[in-house]
Amino acid sequence: MTNIIIVIINMDNFMKKIISIFLCAALLVFYINPIPVNAEETETDILSLESKSAILIEVASGQVIYEKNPDEMLRPASVTKIMTLLLIFEEIEAGNMCFDDIVTVTEHAASMGGSQCFFEAGEQQTVQDMIKCIEIASGNDAAVAMAEHIAGSEQAFVDMMNKRAAELGMVNTHFENACGLEAEGHLTTARDIAIMSRELLFNHPEIKDYSTTWMDSITHKTKRGESQFDLANTNKFLNQYTGATGLKTGYTSQAKYCMSASASRNGVELIAVIMGAETKEIRNSEAGKLLDYGYSKCKTYTDTEVLPDDFSVNVKYGTEKYVPYENCDTHEMVLVDKNPEDISKEVIPYNNLCAPVHKGDIIGAVQYSYNGNLIDEVHIYAAEDIEKLTFGYSLKNVAKKLFMAK
């Protein structure tokens, strides 16, 4: 701040005191209410969100586009089930479980209140139908039944949830149950919800087969016989936003209205998390506002010729001089607040390779930079094995050439 020096001369003492008091008062007002210099509106001011906490990320890169109190620990309600679903799909991917496996509902699972599918103790359903019940109808009983099926007890499954959260870097999350019912200490943040949502969508995109389903049904099979039970998607945002793909809503009287909203447009996938909205209308409106803001910031970049025609990778001490590589015709990425024309590319062959080289080894990279900063990288992989050159191989080669020369 510019120092202001006031020199008061040729005034009587009374006038000097009056001026001094006036100047002190003026400076006090300035320090309390400083005038901003070249102040820019923050994104929070631009969007004017009412919800307690929010975040917007781009799925492919995980880049944060907008945030408001993203690390405030709040109650997530049924948005909790994103972690439950993530563990379910990871168990299936690991081969520990199949979609057709049978799940038996226990007394504990059947006793869950809140949103439920009204299973009876002893009732059996497939894993596939349980996933429908969790994702479409937000069934607490289905979530707990799956937790017990995977881990033997809900508490053991909750331990798995907290362990996975730690592995993903969800540093402000602690789960107490598998479904999101109110429990002391059951807390997470908008940022952490975005992390687990991205993990589910990015690595298990088949979740969208369920999260985009508006209506479905299951068949209850009990001692009294069979009856159809209709499932209606709790996420009404699906019909309110063009490109919406999910992901999970939640509500309790303490958590208020929460949602992890996913959407896909023109190859750009975004996740908007809203926590602590006072009404369902505010939650849905602000999720849409976040996504609109994200799509205004994102552009796609496509490289239609990743590797030049003369690209090659040398290998030392090998049975071949060059390593065959797996070609990559095109590469796409999403740019946030970046001009595609300002992207620079560098092709880097790893020419210090020594045999043996195995198929699938990384033998080079294509790096994309913006203003000198690396923003994306494509690895180049060996397409074949290259064996190490040996004396016996060399002798055999020389003999072969001599024989052909005759």
Choice among 51, 53, 115, 138 that is catalytic: 138
Q: Interior CA angle at 108 toward 166 and 188, to 5°? A: 25
Distance of alpha carbon 200 from alpha carbon 219, whole angstroms: 27
How high is the pLDDT of residue 351? Answer: 87
How high is the pLDDT of residue 27? Answer: 39
Residue ranges and CATH numbers for the domains of the chain are 53-299 (3.40.710.10), 304-381 (2.60.410.10)
What b/e readout covers 162-198, taking b as 16+ CB neighbours within 10 angstroms?
bebbeebebebbbbbbbbbbeeeebbbbbbbbbbbbb
78 has catalytic annotation: yes
Give me the residues of the chain with pLDDT under 70, please: 1-45, 391-406
Distance of alpha carbon 125 from alpha carbon 111, whole angstroms: 17
81 has catalytic annotation: yes
Distance of alpha carbon 284 from alpha carbon 289, whole angstroms: 9
How high is the pLDDT of residue 30? Answer: 34
- Token pair, residue 32, equals 């309390």
Distance of alpha carbon 131 from alpha carbon 206, whole angstroms: 11
How high is the pLDDT of residue 401? Answer: 60
How high is the pLDDT of residue 13? Answer: 53
How high is the pLDDT of residue 106? Answer: 98
What b/e readout covers 58-71, taking b as 16+ CB neighbours within 10 angstroms?
bbbeebebbbbbbe
Choice among 53, 78, 197, 285 that is catalytic: 78
Choice among 81, 132, 208, 297 that is catalytic: 81
How high is the pLDDT of residue 404? Answer: 64
Secondary structure (DSSP) of 96-135: S--TT-EEEPPHHHHT--SS---PPTT-EEEHHHHHHHHH
Distance of alpha carbon 142 from alpha carbon 178, whole angstroms: 10
How high is the pLDDT of residue 2? Answer: 41
296 has catalytic annotation: no
